[in-house]
């Protein structure tokens, strides 16, 4: 059993929680590790408090503190954006929003989530946590151009275009909360759609999830 937080494996965990490297990332907490198991991800390293490592040593490298009873290190997986229903994030810098979109993508059956420019790392610790394990179940892909995405591309904006309807399956392209999608990205999409609201704005993750709900709807 590992007893010192100076142990090289724990030091790697600590480094990965601060700044990822070598294509590896950490999932912390029993629920996340269970989600990875269920999705068939094999950990590179798995550390259970009281079994592989002492509670104290684990708590010292943990991002969550002494409450953490388990963590594991995985190799990142990057795919290509596919499917009848895909979400592409463009300039979504908040990792919590990226994780929440992954959770929504899983809930409403999106085949993949495309990570566009200026978007938070889906394998960063905050995104992994916010995804509640969905990061292990929904394929993620890196993209740099709209042409990489499944067609049609549907720009989700605050007010322009038509209201989003269930006929708009394809790739939902979602921008940052305050600034929205850049004008050239909107112009480059096949369709421009909005979610009709009474107020100023929805947050990016909420807008993306409602959009997924709308286009995946079969029960109305």
| Interface ranges with its own copies (CB under 8 A) | 100, 103-104, 106-109, 132, 134, 137, 163, 165-166, 195-199, 201-203, 206, 209-210, 213-214, 218-220
CA-CA distance, 174 to 49, in Å (whole number)?
A: 39
**The dihedral of CA 63, 64, 70, 76: what is its sign?**
negative
Reference 129, options 9, 28, 12, 20; nearest CA is 28
As measured in angstroms, the least distance from the Cβ of 197 to its own copies is: 4
Cβ proximity to its own copies, 189 vs 211, nearer residue: 211
Which is closer to its own copies, CB of 57 or CB of 95? 95
Nearer to its own copies (CB atom), residue 147 or residue 199: 199
Ramachandran region of residue 132, left (φ > 0), alpha (ψ -120 to 50) or beta? left
Which runs of consecutive H residues, i.e. helices, occur in 71-154?
95-107, 125-130
CB closer to its own copies out of 186 and 212: 212
């Amino acid at each position: 059993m590992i007893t010192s937080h100076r142990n090289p494996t724990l030091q790697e965990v600590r480094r990965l929680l601060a700044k990822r490297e070598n294509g590896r990332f950490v999932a912390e907490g029993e629920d996340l590790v269970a989600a990875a198991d269920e999705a068939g991800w094999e950990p590179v390293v798995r550390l259970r408090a009281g079994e592989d490592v002492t509670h104290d040593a684990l708590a010292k490298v943990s991002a969550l503190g002494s409450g953490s009873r388990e963590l594991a290190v995985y190799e990142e997986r990057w795919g290509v954006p596919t499917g009848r229903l895909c979400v592409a994030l463009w300039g979504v810098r908040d990792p919590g929003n990226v994780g929440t979109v992954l959770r929504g993508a899983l809930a409403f059956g999106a085949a993949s989530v495309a990570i566009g420019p200026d978007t938070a790392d889906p394998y960063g610790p905050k995104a992994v946590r916010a995804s509640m394990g969905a990061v292990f179940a929904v394929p993620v892909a890196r993209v740099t151009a709209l042409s990489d995405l499944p067609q049609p591309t549907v720009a989700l904006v605050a007010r322009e275009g038509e209201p989003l309807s269930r006929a708009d399956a394809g790739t939902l392209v979602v921008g940052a909360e305050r600034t929205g999608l850049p004008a050239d990205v909107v112009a480059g999409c096949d369709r421009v759609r909005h979610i009709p609201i009474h107020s100023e704005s929805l947050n990016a993750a909420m807008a993306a999830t409602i959009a997924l709900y709308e286009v995946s709807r079969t029960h109305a």
